A and B are shown apart, each in its own frame.
Chain A
Amino acid sequence: EDKVVQSPLSLVVHEGDTVTLNCSYEVTNFRSLLWYKQEKKAPTFLFMLTSSGIEKKSGRLSSILDKKELFSILNITATQTGDSAIYLCAVDGNNRLAFGKGNQVVVIP
């Protein structure tokens, strides 16, 4: 069975801090790893990673995948209160997405 584990489950930071979120996985027929941001509503897509060692960036968010060690990191720099959300990691294997339980990030002013 596909397994996705995220850590930490929850963290609280001050505005301006840097956050590092971890996602480790075990999946057969790995195709890609995805990060989503979920605020009060539905998850919204952030990144898809397929190759090891190549960083994807979008503004203050960046992510990298290590296919040898089977993990990914999502970094958020200079955090803002609008970054408060649950960040979901999902792995695409066998044409279906397996999600982790999420990293809940709370950014306080």
Chain B
Amino acid sequence: DSGVTQTPKHLITATGQRVTLRCSPRSGDLSVYWYQQSLDQGLQFLIQYYNGEERAKGNILERFSAQQFPDLHSELNLSSLELGDSALYFCASSSREFSYEQYFGPGTRLTVT
């Protein structure tokens, strides 16, 4: 158990809908990273927050947005969902602004039907 929690574990929704994925980092960690893992694309970095501020952006679609709250938990919002958004979404955390030593949560499996 990495200490990073993610909810929900599984999510099934229809195309065109909007969902929110939630992540709580390890106690004391200020950085939160979001990743998307699909069979064809592998694990892809989406976005990073550090102490409430956006720090780095990867291959995140405009339909997706994220934020980190004062209590350091983070939410990833996915809107106008398409079938291709079906994937495993991981959150990771680290103590420093950027660290290779990222601790991954168990992931949220999103299925868009």
Contacts and interface: CB of A to CB of B under 8 A. Distances in A.
10 contacts: A32-B100, A41-B107, A42-B106, A43-B104, A44-B2, A48-B101, A96-B98, A99-B45, A101-B42, A102-B42
A43 B43 CA distance: 10
B81 to A, nearest CB: 23
Interface of B: 2, 4, 35, 41-45, 48, 55-56, 58, 90, 92, 98, 100-102, 104-107
B43 A99 contact: yes
Contacts, number: 49
B45 A41 contact: no
A42 B102 CA distance: 11
B107 A97 contact: no
A96 B106 contact: no
Given A95-B56, A95-B98, A42 B104 contact: yes
Interface in A21-50: 32, 34, 41-45, 48
Given A42-B2, A42-B106, A42-B107, A34 B56 contact: no
Nearest to A33: B100
Given A42-B104, A92-B100, A97 B45 contact: yes
